[in-house]
Structure formats: C-alpha cells, structure tokens
C-alpha cells in the first residue's frame, strides 16, 4: 500500500483528483491529455488535402471530447475558462495553418489567424470548449435535480457543495479538506445565478420540467460565455 504525499493527485479513469484547486488541477490535466491526442492526430488534423471543415469536426469529436471528459462536474473560475479558451484557439490555429505574412509582427499575425480560425470553426458548427462545457453542465444538472434525493448522484452533489464546505468553514479535524483559501465556488453557483438573473426562480424547481429545462441550455451557455 502506498500513501499519497500531501498535494499529490490520484488519477482514476483519466480524471486527476486532488484536494486543492480541484477544478483547476483537472482542467490542466485534461488540456495536457488533449495536446497529447492532438499531436498523435496531427497527420489528419493538419492534412491540407482534406477539407478544413472535416478536420475541424474531427478535432471536435476527438480532441474536444478528450478535453471535456467529465466536464459537467467542473466548477471553473474565469481564469480556468481562459485556460480552456487559450488551448482551444492554439489548436485551431494549427489546424487552419495560415502563415505569417512578410513584415507582419507576431501579435498581429496571432490576432488575424485566431479570428480566421474562430470564424471557420463557427461556420463548421464547432462550439468553443467553454460553451460546450456549459451545455454539458446544464444538461447534467437537470438530470441530477430530477433524481430522487436518496440516490448517490444527488447525495454526492449535495455533500460536495454543502457539507464539505461547512466542515471546512467551521474548522475541526476536517479543515485540511478545504481545497483553497480563495472563495469557495459551489458547483451550483452559476446555475443559481442564471436562474435568478433570468427570473426563473430556483434552478432545482425549473429542472423538474425536463422539456423546459432543455430549452434553456443554449441561453445558459451563452450567458456563461460572456
């Protein structure tokens, strides 16, 4: 039996688990996994003889799915969303592959190619990772809310969001469990704020109507991406 050192992560089924900065650590882990897959698929993703839309769709279904593995459970802050966006744009630029013009400075080139790559991705129906993450989270949240209160998925979600935080806040022997000294961001915070801002009341009540809940998925994703 081996004991983990303080701060060491435990990787289970590709997910890296740690007690400090949980979401940031996992997003960095997923981005690294995404880059590994990207380089393995480089001959296909950067093959200029194939239509760029086909390559972008292949990128979304492979690398995108790899990066967003279990993304519905994330509780990202703005800085972590920027990490996702930065990695997504960097990969898109390599797929589109527009060269740098003579006398063009590096910053101007990066901005030009990024705009072009994002425009082509939009044309191909490719969503940003931030938007896709928000959609996954919204749909998963509805599933969680509609489950009976005694099911493991409801109990685990409530424990992580409320009981763990209360233990950390009140001190005692369990205080080292607190993931960060920064403000604790609950998994449901963005759901609650969106429903309050859009006049929908409590998100758990809205989620009981599956059809109505699903109808808000794009609105929520756009709201999160602002």
Flag whether 198 is in a domain. yes
139/46 same-domain check: no
Residue 140: predicted pLDDT:
93
102/46 same-domain check: yes
Average pLDDT, the chain: 84
Residue 183: predicted pLDDT:
54
User: Taking 70 as the threshold, does the pLDDT of residue 177 lie above it?
Assistant: no
pLDDT tens readout for residues 45-83: 999 999 999 999 999 999 999 999 989 988 888 899 999
Q: Looking at 73, 94, 124, which one is the last position of a domain?
A: 124
163/200 same-domain check: yes
- What is the C-alpha to C-alpha distance for residues 136 and 70, in angstroms, rounded to an integer? 9
In the predicted model, what is the mean pLDDT of residues 116-127?
A: 94
171/213 same-domain check: yes
More confident residue, 93 or 169: 93
- For 132-194, give the secondary structure using H, E and C: HHHHHHHHHHHHHHCCCCCCHHHHHHHHHHHHHHHHHHHCCCCHHHCCCCCCCCCCCHHHHHH
Residue 6: predicted pLDDT:
62
Question: Which of 95-104, 157-166, 167-176, 189-198 shows the lowest per-residue confidence on average (mean pLDDT)?
Answer: 167-176
44/71 same-domain check: yes
Flag whether 115 is in a domain. yes
In the predicted model, what is the mean pLDDT of residues 166-174?
A: 47
Residue 175: predicted pLDDT:
43
Residue 19: predicted pLDDT:
63
167/90 same-domain check: no
Whole-model pTM: value is 0.83
pLDDT tens readout for residues 124-136: 999 999 999 999 9
State the pLDDT confidence band at 86, using cuts at 50, 70 and 90.
Answer: very high
Number of folded domains that form the chain: 2
Domain limits for position 74: 10-124
52/113 same-domain check: yes
């Amino acid at each position: 039996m081996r004991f983990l050192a303080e701060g060491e992560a435990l990787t289970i089924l590709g997910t890296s688990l740690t007690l400090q900065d949980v979401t940031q650590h996992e997003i960095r882990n997923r981005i690294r996994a995404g880059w590994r897959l990207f380089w393995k698929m480089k001959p296909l993703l950067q093959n200029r003889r194939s239509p760029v839309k086909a390559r972008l769709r292949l990128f979304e279904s492979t690398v995108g799915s790899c990066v967003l593995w279990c993304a519905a459970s994330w509780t990202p802050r703005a800085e972590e969303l920027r990490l996702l966006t930065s990695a997504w744009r960097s990969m898109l630029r390599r797929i589109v592959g527009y060269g740098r013009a003579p006398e063009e400075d590096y910053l101007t080139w990066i901005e030009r190619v990024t705009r072009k790559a994002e425009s082509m991705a939009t044309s191909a129906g490719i969503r940003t990772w931030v938007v896709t993450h928000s959609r996954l989270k919204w749909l998963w949240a509805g599933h969680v809310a509609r489950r009976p209160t005694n099911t493991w998925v409801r109990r685990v979600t409530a424990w992580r969001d409320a009981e763990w935080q209360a233990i950390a806040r009140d001190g005692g022997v369990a205080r080292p469990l607190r993931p960060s000294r920064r403000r604790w961001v609950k998994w449901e915070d963005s759901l609650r704020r969106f429903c309050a801002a859009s006049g929908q009341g409590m998100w758990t009540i809205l989620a009981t109507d599956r059809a109505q809940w699903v109808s808000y998925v794009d609105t929520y994703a756009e709201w999160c991406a602002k």
